[in-house]
Amino acid sequence: MSPAARIDAESVLRAALQVLDEEGVAALSMRTIAARLQVRAASLYYHVPNKAALLQLVADRVAEEVIASVVPGRGWRDLLADVAQGLRRTLRAHPGAAAVVAVRHASPQVFERAVPTVLAAMNTGLRVTDEEALYLVQSLYVLVTGHALAEFGDTPEPPAAPTAYYDAWFDIAVSTFLAGVEARYGA
């Protein structure tokens, strides 16, 4: 069986994440991925139509992992903490993906699966509209992504400061965000 016969969208996505993690977003191209998979670039287009679609797959995979880390039935503070920690954990596992997530939203079909869980949690103990609740989750996602860019923005170069520095910064940023949400919207 030829290498081209063994590839699919998932293998293309895995190769893209490897390129992002090892070489950074500047190195990501269909040719680079094809070389990793030992196929011609043209054979990738049967599975992923273009680089924009590839970037969307990356953003969606990160969002799917974050959504999977959210525990339904918990309160708003736990939900937001789950989102922040899940996103940070995912971006630590794939530091090169931070540059993609910073400029590309999750697809509606991915995000919409989380909406009922988000709204149930956010409407418990907070005085928010559904629209405000979703904006708050998106704002936290941007905060954590920005933090990840500060930590991993030069992938494949190592972070500029020790891990403990970024851990403390993350904890302060997220706890301050949560305190602000409670101060503004608390019941």
Domains in the chain, ordered, with CATH?
3-185 (1.10.357.10)
Burial 19-33 (b: 16+ CB within 10 A, else e): bbbeebbeebebebb
Answering whether pTM is above 0.75, one says: yes
Judge whether residue 178 has pLDDT over 70. yes
Please give the pLDDT value at position 6.
76
Residue 2 to residue 158: CA distance in whole angstroms: 37
Residue for token digits 């679609």? Answer: 53
Residue 66 to residue 84: CA distance in whole angstroms: 8
Section 14-42 average pLDDT: 94
β-bridge mates for residue 186, sequence order = 126
Per residue in 38-86, pLDDT (tens digit) is: 999 888 988 999 999 999 999 999 999 999 999 999 999 999 999 999 9
Per residue in 97-150, pLDDT (tens digit) is: 999 999 999 999 999 999 999 999 999 999 999 999 999 999 999 999 999 999
Please give the pLDDT value at position 79.
96
Please give the pLDDT value at position 91.
97
Residue 11 pLDDT grade (very low, low, confident, very high; cuts 50, 70, 90): very high
Amino acid at 52: A
Section 150-166 average pLDDT: 90
Please give the pLDDT value at position 2.
57
Please give the pLDDT value at position 157.
86
Residue 187 pLDDT grade (very low, low, confident, very high; cuts 50, 70, 90): confident
Are the C-beta atoms of residues 24 and 96 closer than 8 Å to each other? yes
Section 170-184 average pLDDT: 98
Residue 146 to residue 183: CA distance in whole angstroms: 23
Residue 155 pLDDT grade (very low, low, confident, very high; cuts 50, 70, 90): confident
Please give the pLDDT value at position 1.
52
Tokens describing residue 80: 């937001």
Please give the pLDDT value at position 3.
56
Please give the pLDDT value at position 5.
56
